[in-house]
A and B are shown apart, each in its own frame.
Chain A
Amino acid sequence: MKKFQFFDQNIRQQRPELNFCTFNYIFAEYICYLKRKHGNDYNEMNSKMEQLGVSVGIRLYELVSLRERNKSETKLVEQLRFIQGIFWKHLFGRQAESIERLKDRPNDYLIRDENPLLLKYISEEGHISPAQFMCGILKGVLNASGFTCQVSYQFKTDERGVSYYPHTVFILSFEDARDL
């Protein structure tokens, strides 16, 4: 009997795209699982979701680098451009809108996505969100490429409190000034 080994599969051949609702159902069920397990402890749930994202991000980084481009960057800004452009496009079908930097927070970079694919069918609840999963993916990718950072997210609201959900901003905080 032929032993099935995943090493025998050709990694360069990519499986065609799958139905988005499969991903959504699985992810929504995962959020229900977290709620069953942790009750009202939103911090614990968010950290679990971020861990999920980190483990996905580390592996995704290698895969996307293999498929799209074989070079890895040493400069942070180039790496962020790679994430915003090629990586985002590979995963979600569109590039992220922009990379920004605030004057009063020199250690932070912002990646803005006006319509994140993962948030399309999830309502704005406030405590727990798949955006945390996306933060985890970003953190995993950056840690795997050698830049340590913390990632958090914010939904955009303007001065009057009007919400632009699902317009999301991912805030990347780098502790090590040498990375910048």
Chain B
Amino acid sequence: MQIRKSNKVVVNRIEKVNSELLTLTYGAIVSQIIKDSDTVIEANEQLEKMGYNIGQRIIDEYLSKAEIKQCRDKIDVAENIGKGAMQMFLGVTAEVEVLPETDKIFTFNLHFVENPLNDFVELPEHLQGLNYSNMIAGAIRGALSTIHWIATCRFLKDQLKNDDKTILQVEMIREKFKDDE
């Protein structure tokens, strides 16, 4: 049982697995995808697409396991992603930095200090363009799409590319239904 005092989210009965198994499996999957893809851009897209599929299902897991009430505003959504979901699935929390809203597009940055998928990883010279944790970006996009928010996620900074922290920027806008006019 985990209790986070800041957002009062209680997560019940998490089944655990060795973190190194996850890290190494993710790394092996990424390297297979790179071998199968022709370019780094294609590999990035493939990772993002896989993340999207995961995200569509993982949001149900999050909403069912974490006892949270309805989010009051968009900042609550951001906090749930950055603190609640990241803590539940990856064991790390990310700082949420909310940027000014422009044109109905709500933007926030997630600052990751550590990322369990990045353990033991070093990007070689010819793969400097690879967004290694693109699956996380895809998962956020997929999760938001299930609850009718269109989002784009991209990495502004990445620790594997010699920045001091990883920053993931999420822009979200409410999906317009056809009968909303």
Contacts and interface: CB of A to CB of B under 8 A. Distances in A.
Contacts of B116: 15, 18
B57 interface: yes
A14 B58 CA distance: 26
A108 to B, nearest CB: 26
Given A9-B119, A30-B29, A18 B91 contact: yes
Interface in A128-152: none
Given A23-B17, A26-B22, A3 B29 contact: no
B163 A4 contact: yes
B interface secondary structure, majority: helix
Contacts of B29: 26, 30, 52
B25 A52 contact: yes
B18 to A, nearest CB: 5
Interface string B106-131: 00000000001011111000000000
Interface string A49-62: 00110011001100
Given A19-B17, A26-B22, A26-B135, A33 B50 contact: yes
B162 A60 contact: no
A56 B54 contact: no
Interface in A89-117: 90-93, 117
B50 A18 contact: no
A33 B14 CA distance: 26
A156 interface: no
3 closest cross-chain pairs (CB), A and B: A17-B16, A20-B15, A20-B17
Interface of B: 14-22, 24-26, 28-29, 31-33, 36, 46, 50, 53-54, 57-58, 61, 88-91, 116, 118-122, 135, 159-160, 162-164
